[in-house]
Amino acid sequence: MKKAQLAEINWPEFGLSEKPASISLEEFQDRIDIVQTAMKKRGYSHLLIYGDREHFANMTWMCNLDPRFEEALLIVSLDKKPLILIGNECEGYLPHSPLYNNGDMRSELYQPFSLLNQGRDKSRTLNEIFLDEGINEGSLIGCVGWKYFESSEEPAGIHAIDIPSFITDPVRNIAGYENVENATDLFMHPGYGFRTIVSVDEIAIFEHSNIKTSEAAKRMIFGLRDGMVDHDVAKFIEWDGEPLGCHPTMSSGDLPGLCGPQGRTINIGDPFSFNVCYWGSNICRSGWVVNGADELPAQAQAYIDEFAGPYFEAMADWFGKMSIGTKGSILHDAIYDRLPFDKFGIFLNAGHLIHLDEWVSSPIYESSDLEIRSGMMFQVDVIPSSPIFGSTRMEDGIVIADEELRSKLKEKHPNCYDRCMKRREFMIQTLGFDLPEEILPLSNIAAIVPPWFLNPSQIFILK
């Protein structure tokens, strides 16, 4: 079995990308068809797809509108064009949707979605709108928020609705409690959710996101210096105005792991972790602010041999098993069998699906029978934590693509395909990974793990 060791490596340059075209009108139209087909199979007459600033991804996937200051609701039925209800400040944003521009989506102003004390005098009630959309006592309604619940975690099970009660109550009053169900799984379930598989155009879009994010992470690592304030390190992100998938985190010393920059001075001997996250990408690295092992605290001198090295080896095994048809439990066991909790402190899933939102769901968990499928986009998000050793990380994005999907990508987005192939070659030839052919690395720093942030040319390889 290959073992992890440190080597002096010049970080590769895989190039930048021009921003790809947005998702086409035709793909959005196809998504409506896909959703309506699924509704028919379940017997739903209507879907209520909820969105707000934090919980936008399902709605954005449907119509390319992400609410900016307020809530929004997309009503999908089987016999009418979808109707989106928006507040005062979303009206001017509607032309961002190709469906709206093409007349494939209707809109109506519903001012209670607007912020407090704005005008409320131009709207019908939700009860009136729902009745006009054909919702009645015989309707079966699916509600799409951002979570769904098993009966083991919520006694109400499928009737536990995660969208606001001021939306849920009127539709329950019309259709009856038993006829209103949580349908979020249609979009997010790791076994069949619409958004758990990406299209060839989405691969190009999310690769562009991963490039921006990974290049930002690289700038942060190579720009870090002893005595820097964390706010100054964050400036290396060079945020370009594109939406962020989550707040950038930056922890050093004894700061909690999910802190953003706090104005703390970063010193030699500190553990240091950070992430950068645009839609569809989240790049994270964790190590020590040192030039080498001799600058580690005395209790952490075994960091390479006992912690970071075994993690790198376990992740190589994880990559080797990441193949189409592999059950999620196999990938779970690849991590948890090799990295015991009492030493490595890993408590989240050994990888999860990512999309517009940073975490969609995950087929990787204990005893999971869900299989890895072509089109899945994963966040390589395996997070060890130790009070002695701090952490280590190779958190990047990958897509699983069968031969057909790879051929489509090569034909439609050849530059994206070529960069993915070059990253694969680097991971195999230089880092020593045994990489299944269906893995497409999206990050420009894919699997590059520098334990010493003041000497980033030393990275892990397998020999």
The CATH number that applies at residue 374 is 3.90.230.10
**What domain range is 81 assigned to?**
25-184
Let me know whether 272 and 376 are in one domain: yes
The confidence score (pLDDT) of residue 259 equals 81
Q: Is 189 part of any domain?
A: no
Does residue 194 form part of some domain?
Answer: no
Q: What is the pTM of this model?
A: 0.96
For residue 132, report the phi and psi dihedrals to the nearest 5 degrees.
-70, -25
Q: What is the pLDDT of residue 252?
A: 86
pLDDT for 253: 78
| DSSP annotation string for 50-86 | EE-SSS-HHHHHHHS---SSS-EEEEEESSS--EEEE
Please give the full DSSP string across 377-435, using - where no structure is assigned. EEE------BTTTB----B-EEEE--HHHHHHHHHH-HHHHHHHHHHHHIIIIIS----
225 plus 364 within the same structural domain: yes
Q: Are 394 and 449 in contact (CB under 8 A)?
A: yes
Tell me the C-alpha distance between 54 and 357, whole Å. 9
Instruction: Identify whether residues 157 and 204 lie together within a single domain.
Output: no
What was the pLDDT predicted at 277? 96
Q: What is the pLDDT of residue 36?
A: 98
- Residue 34's pLDDT is what? 98
> Token digits for 271?
């553990």
The residues, ordered by sequence, that sit 6+ positions from 437 with a Cβ below 8 Å of its Cβ are none
- What pLDDT is recorded for position 151? 87
Q: Are residues 374 and 249 both part of a single domain?
A: yes
Which residue carries 């790198």 as its tokens?
A: 312
CB 447 within 8 A of CB 441: yes
Classify residue 227 as left (phi > 0), alpha (psi -120 to 50) or beta: left
Has residue 414 been placed in a domain? yes
Give the CATH number for residue 69: 3.40.350.10
Q: Is 226 found in the same domain as 180?
A: no
| Same domain (yes/no): 175, 289 | no
Looking at the fold, whether 371 and 226 belong to one and the same domain comes out as: yes
Nearest to 182 by CA among 151, 147, 155, 152: 147
Query: Is 179 in the same domain as 209?
Result: no
Q: Are residues 93 and 225 in the same domain?
A: no
| Regions of the chain where pLDDT drops below 70 | 255-257
| 337 plus 398 within the same structural domain | yes
Q: What is the pLDDT of residue 55?
A: 96
- Looking at the DSSP assignment, which residues form a beta bridge with residue 106? 83
Query: Looking at the 3D structure of the chain, how many domains does it have?
Result: 2
